[in-house]
Amino acid sequence: MIPYGKQSIDQADIDAVVDVLKSDFLTQGPQVSNFEQIITRFCGVKDGVAVNSATSALHIACLALNVGKDDIVWTSPITFVATANCALYCGAQIDFVDIDIDSGNMSSQKLEEKLIWAEKNNLLPKVVIPVHIAGQSCDMEAIYNLAKKYNFKIIEDASHAIGGKYKQHMVGSCRFSDITIFSFHPVKIVTSAEGGIAVTNNKTLAKRLKLFRNHGIINNADEMTETSHGPWYYQQQELGYNYRMTDIQAALGSSQMKKINLFINKRNQLAQRYNEAFANTAINHLKPREYIDSAYHLYLILLPNNNRESHKSFVTALRDREVFAQIHYIPVHLQPYYKNLGFKEGTFPSAEEYYNRVVSLPLYPDLSNEQQDKVINNVLELI
């Protein structure tokens, strides 16, 4: 079976992990701060706070922005459930903004329309979380301009998009957002086995992110509410969490980052082969705008028909032929938990049409031309 995604691990990655296993630190030690520095330099951003998953990064990003009860957070319905769940963890209300069918990303036009409506009804969001599907950035400058007008904060869910660019700026530079989140799950661009990071240019936010990562505890005597009892003393000042990344994960992530440009180039080469193979067919693929360089975490195609049964048959037939096609994603508002919150089918029609048409084809650096040809031939036969 050809998987839709797969980590690429070499001997250098293995050696990096073994070196940590032989060292004095296994949990949070020097490798974590080194990894944070590698990511921040790569993105051109000031601070990074590494954690045990992108879900944790999303959660502490909301906490750092003081999201709480009676606040409203908006995100895209086309994402993994964690992007919406992070607001609920904070006691906030969640809502969604429909997508552009040709990109899979949050529509800045539909966002503006919803903001106009929300302002009239006193339901403006405190935070908006655009999601960079498949490695291509949302139109962040347009969203940023709306944020200034309607006074909301922005968390970029760039779990798919490390190494991508928007208008010549690295995704993660936070030029058009307050915080950006990356994922290092095994199928992502680079992996730390499990792991994530929140990056920001705001020192106050960085301090709060670090606080919530580690139980809400501080060790700096200058920040304590009373005179320190001694060098062992610490204070819990917030209700934080144990979201720390280990040195083992960080070492793997640091080693992987040495190859990120090779990974991105290979993913783009494979995507171009798909583009050429599907040109002049009934298949549409997601096309990044001319000012976006996609990291190509995923290669997504849209089938010509908005029909759930034919969609199911197509994906099942590919899997029967040893090609593990996948769907990214089931619209969050259609999940039973979110239906119980009051969301209904038909609310976000573009997202629902997208779900009935989208297919993720195998894409990862170690995918061979022969394997990719097998994918292409089977897709063309079935279409």
Tell me: pLDDT of 215 over 90: yes
- Give the pLDDT of residue 79: 98
Q: Report how far Cα 130 is from the mean position of its chain's Cα atoms.
A: 9
Averaged pLDDT of the chain: 97
- Give the pLDDT of residue 27: 87
Residue with token string 């089977």:
378
**Residues 115-130: what's their mean pLDDT?**
98
Q: Over the stretch 7-24, which tens digit does the pLDDT of each residue have?
A: 999 999 999 999 999 999
- Give the pLDDT of residue 169: 97
- Give the pLDDT of residue 288: 79
* Single pTM value for the model: 0.97
- Give the pLDDT of residue 286: 84
Tokens for 241?
Answer: 């969490």
Is 335 in contact with 273 (CB distance < 8 Å)?
no
Residue with token string 């999303």:
58
Backbone angles phi, psi at 155, to 5 degrees: -115, 120
Is 147 in contact with 59 (CB distance < 8 Å)?
no
- Distance, in Å, from the CA atom of 168 to the CA atom of 103, rounded to the nearest integer, reads 19
- Which residues are paired to 50 by β-bridges? 197
- Give the pLDDT of residue 103: 94
Is 365 in contact with 263 (CB distance < 8 Å)?
yes
Backbone angles phi, psi at 166, to 5 degrees: -130, 115
- Residue length of the chain: 383
Is 197 in contact with 271 (CB distance < 8 Å)?
no
Tokens for 370?
Answer: 């022969």
The sign one gets for the Cα dihedral 150, 120, 130, 64 is positive
Q: Over the stretch 51-72, which tens digit does the pLDDT of each residue have?
A: 999 999 999 999 999 999 999 9
- Distance, in Å, from the CA atom of 273 to the CA atom of 266, rounded to the nearest integer, reads 11
Share of the chain above pLDDT 70, in %: 100
Tell me: pLDDT of 199 over 90: yes
- Give the pLDDT of residue 289: 84
Q: Over the stretch 156-198, which tens digit does the pLDDT of each residue have?
A: 999 999 999 999 999 999 999 999 999 999 999 999 999 999 9
* Vertex 327 angle, CA 326 and 329, to 5°: 145
Q: Report how far Cα 71 is from the mean position of its chain's Cα atoms.
A: 22
Tokens for 88?
Answer: 């609920």
- Distance, in Å, from the CA atom of 301 to the CA atom of 273, rounded to the nearest integer, reads 13
DSSP string, 293-320: E---S-EEEE-SS--HHHHHHHHHHHHH
77 residue type, one letter: P
What band does 28 get if pLDDT is binned at 50, 70 and 90? confident
Q: Over the stretch 257-301, which tens digit does the pLDDT of each residue have?
A: 999 999 999 999 999 999 999 999 999 988 878 899 999 999 999
Bridge pairing between strands 72-75 and 93-96: parallel
Residue with token string 């990074």:
48
Cβ neighbours for 77, distance < 8 A, ≥ 6 positions apart: 96, 98, 99, 331, 332, 333, 334, 348, 351
- Give the pLDDT of residue 5: 96
- Distance, in Å, from the CA atom of 336 to the CA atom of 116, rounded to the nearest integer, reads 29
Q: Over the stretch 324-354, which tens digit does the pLDDT of each residue have?
A: 999 999 999 999 999 999 999 999 999 999 9
**Residues 122-130: what's their mean pLDDT?**
98
Distances (CA, A) of 62 to 74, 81, 185, 382: 12, 15, 21, 44
**Residues 211-232: what's their mean pLDDT?**
93
**Residues 28-45: what's their mean pLDDT?**
96
- Give the pLDDT of residue 318: 98
Which structural domains are found in the chain, ordered by start?
A: 11-257 (3.40.640.10), 260-382 (3.90.1150.10)
Tokens for 40?
Answer: 């921040």
